[in-house]
Amino acid sequence: MPEEAEVEQAQEESEPAAEGNALGDLFEYKLKERVTIRKNQSALVPILQTEVAAEKVSLWSESLGVPRPLRALWLTNTSTLTLDGGSFNVLDSNTFGGEGLTEAVKPGERRLLSYATDLGLLVDTKAESARERVTRVLITQGTMATISEEREKKTYIVRNEDTTPRTLIIEHPTRPEWKLAADGPQPEEKVSGLYRFRLTLEPKKTERLVINESKPQFTQYELKAVTDEQIDLLLRQKSISSEVEKSLRRILSQKNVVAEYDSQIKTQQQQIDQIFGDQARLRESMKSLKGSTEEKTLLQRYIRQLDDEETQLEGLRKKKQGLEGQRQLSDVLLRNIIQQLQMDVSL
């Protein structure tokens, strides 16, 4: 096995034989000098030799489906050249550490490159979820929204069985509408569809990473359709404050006024319809009296009855018309109460 000094000397003597150039999203390497390769021979030509920043870490994602993390390099291309994709080998203290594959890495780009299994760490997870009570009530433009939170807690339990410390990068999936708790651990990095959290582990120690996330839940009500039963239920659930209850009761009270006018108007119409029915029967009876001995006497009675009923109809129509006007004013007041009600209450 070559000594470290020998490896460094070989690196110094192996000068790159090419220069790199960017070609838009592509790149190329041009050889500085012509290389001659004879028939049935091959040549190993150093294309690029440069130092880049790299941190040795362990990497774990639940999508791996195994409790063992991977050994990885968190590499940042600090050079001015694109590093070509392909296979790579890792030497750790001049000992082969593993190998992996990578895509091209552009200047300034940061990439996690895994190359072996980390047999010194074990990762387990525990998930909990809960629906929290309403935390906010928002009333505007004729609707009421109660806002609660769905919360989830995920605990990553990591055991370092090795005699050396470890830095573990845990990949946790991001989800639409879900947010990390502001007072909880924050990710080292956020990439497409993933948070990356850093966890430092001392030898023979167990550490936990607890990630709390929340998602808002909205329940919407039309104020004009709210009932006593719904208000009572919201009170039992502690989903509204006494201030909100008072405003809703006022709307309900005005709704009841409108409903009472509707009932009275309906009653007046029923009486009108009943009189119309009686008059129709009287007129049919009057037609059947022609030529009878009782015709004159009964006609006079029926005519008086029709006159009385016409007087009743006139009174009923006027009363109904008055009720309809009052009902219209009450409905306008109800709509104004609903539209003007604006509340934003935190519970």
At 188-243, the pLDDT tens digits run 999 989 999 999 999 999 999 999 999 988 899 999 999 999 999 999 988 999 99
Domain co-membership, 239 together with 299: yes
Domain co-membership, 283 together with 209: no
Beta strands 343-346 and 136-140: pairing type? Answer: antiparallel
Domain co-membership, 140 together with 99: no
* Rounded (to 5) percent helix, strand, coil in the chain: 35, 35, 30
Which range of residues forms the domain containing residue 173?
A: 122-225
Domain co-membership, 134 together with 211: yes
Residue 83: partners with Cβ closer than 8 Å, 6 or more residues away: 48, 52, 77, 102, 104, 105
Q: What is the mean pLDDT of residues 136-154?
A: 93
Please state, in angstroms and rounded to a whole number, the distance separating the CA atoms of residues 225 and 251: 10
Please state, in angstroms and rounded to a whole number, the distance separating the CA atoms of residues 144 and 150: 19
Choose one of 180, 198, 225: the last residue of a domain: 225
User: Contact at 8 Å (CB) between 164 and 218?
Assistant: no
**Mean model confidence pLDDT for the chain:** 87
* Nearest Cα to Cα of residue 223 among 189, 196, 247: 247
Domain co-membership, 277 together with 179: no
Count CB-CB contacts under 10 A for residue 208.
11
Domain co-membership, 268 together with 335: yes
User: Contact at 8 Å (CB) between 143 and 220?
Assistant: yes
Beta strands 166-173 and 53-61: pairing type? Answer: parallel
Residue 150: partners with Cβ closer than 8 Å, 6 or more residues away: 129, 130, 131, 132, 214, 215, 216, 217
Question: How much is the pLDDT for 205?
Answer: 97
Domain co-membership, 260 together with 293: yes
Give the tokens for residue 39: 């028939």
Question: How much is the pLDDT for 2?
Answer: 46
Domain co-membership, 193 together with 276: no
Q: Which residue did the predictor score with more confidence, 89 or 133?
A: 89
Give the tokens for residue 20: 């790199």
Q: Which residue did the predictor score with more confidence, 307 or 18?
A: 307
Residue type, 74: W
Please state, in angstroms and rounded to a whole number, the distance separating the CA atoms of residues 347 and 345: 6
Q: What is the mean pLDDT of residues 34-45?
A: 87
Count CB-CB contacts under 10 A for residue 107.
16
Residue 97: partners with Cβ closer than 8 Å, 6 or more residues away: 71, 90, 91, 115, 116
Domain co-membership, 190 together with 134: yes
Q: Which residue did the predictor score with more confidence, 316 or 156?
A: 156
Measured torsion, CA atoms of residues 100, 104, 110, 112, in degrees rounded to the nearest 10: -20
Give the tokens for residue 1: 């096995």
For the chain, what is the domain count?
3
Choose one of 207, 225, 243: the last residue of a domain: 225
Please state, in angstroms and rounded to a whole number, the distance separating the CA atoms of residues 227 and 249: 9
Residues β-bridged to residue 170: 60, 197
Domain co-membership, 273 together with 255: yes
Task: Give the confidence band of 82 by pLDDT, cuts at 50, 70, 90.
Answer: confident
Question: How much is the pLDDT for 284?
Answer: 76
Helices 228-236 and 242-288, interaxial angle, to 10°?
160
Please check the confidence at residue 88 and state whether its pLDDT lies above 80.
Answer: yes
Residue 282 CA neighbour count, 13 Å, CB half: 19
Domain co-membership, 57 together with 11: yes
Selection from 18-22, 82-86, 141-145 with the highest mean pLDDT? 141-145
Choose one of 200, 225, 250: the last residue of a domain: 225
**Size of the chain in residues:** 347
Please check the confidence at residue 336 and state whether its pLDDT lies above 80.
Answer: yes
Domain co-membership, 198 together with 252: no
- pTM, two decimals, is 0.65
